[in-house]
Amino acid sequence: MAVIALAGVPGSPGVTATALALLRTWPLADGWRLLLAECDPDGGAVLSGALEGRVPADRGLRNLAVSSRRQGQELVASFWTQLIAVDSRPGAERNRLLLPGLTDPRQASSLSSVWGQLADLFTGIEQHQHDVLIDLGRSGAFGASGVLAARAETVVVVVRGTLRSVHAARARVGMLRTALDSDSAAGAGVKGLAALLIAEGPYGQQEVSAELGIPVIAILPYRPKEAAVLSDGAPEDRRFAGCELMRAARTAVDGIQRHVAEQRVRIAAPLHDRRGVSGHAR
């Protein structure tokens, strides 16, 4: 279906919890899998947060650095061995996967050659019946790892409806516009840029969209106790799947999928037009 990058803004956490909410509620067709790739250069949060250290930190992004120094095909082979099933309960389908992030920000310096290879892999991963959510954190949409945003079909900026968050997001969106416009041939470009609003603060969907100049395609409620299940592994009871946050996440998935579908139609239209004129693609 898609490769979707999620990016945050300074002083406004919530990207990883949002990514995990989407991971858990994303509908999957038979045989399909959904991958959450933690690609925040500042480090991953799922192993020590949602998974509470229950999974050994022996797999993940940092292990790809060695493979990347050799031929790209070796990195691809190594990539599949670094994934873990987020739901490993007996009987679970094991179709929601995690590429754990860095355990130390200092490891990011060894990944300069990995980001581009990962972007290539994610771009072609649909043929393996996988969709991808990329957690870029607050800094991963820029610098060396910015290629992941440039190659994604949609870049979703997670922003809260507070003055502080919207102000920070405005600057980040401006930077993303410049980055995506300069490499628009590789991904969806500027028109693929959108926002997901966490409904904390006085500013709503229309106000945030007008301020940032991009569509707000999804909204999640501000529910710190519910979000703590995702961000910090807080106790989860049987009612969690039906809580307000998770219900809203299902609706958010619909909004994101519609946006991706619209971008695919937009990108395909010029090619269709050229074929109509010349009888074949140029």
Give the chain's mean pLDDT: 88
pLDDT at 115: 94
User: For residue 264, what are the β-bridge partners?
Assistant: none
Provide the edge-to-edge strand list for the sheet that holds 130-135. Answer: 84-85, 96-99, 33-38, 130-135, 3-7, 154-160, 193-199, 216-221
* pLDDT over 70 percentage in the chain: 88
CATH of domain 3-278: 3.40.50.300
Distance CA 62, CA 71 (A): 17
Angle at the Cα of 147 from the Cα atoms of 146 and 153, rounded to 5 degrees: 105
Residues 9, 157 contacting (CB under 8 angstroms): yes
pLDDT at 278: 47
pLDDT tens for each residue of 17-55:
999 999 999 999 999 999 999 999 999 999 999 988 888
pLDDT at 198: 97
Residue ranges of alpha helices (H) inside 124-193 are 147-151, 163-182
pLDDT tens for each residue of 90-118:
556 789 999 999 989 998 988 988 999 99
Q: What is the DSSP secondary structure assignment for residue 132, as one 8-state letter?
A: E
Residue 272 pLDDT more than 80? no
Nearest to 14 by CA among 41, 47, 49: 49
Distance CA 271, CA 281 (A): 7
Tokens of 69: 């120094």
Domain ranges of the chain: 3-278
Bigger pLDDT: 182 or 198?
Answer: 198
Dihedral sign from CA coordinates of 113, 267, 216, 1: negative
The arithmetic mean of pLDDT across residues 75-88, rounded, is 87
Nearest to 85 by CA among 93, 96, 100: 96
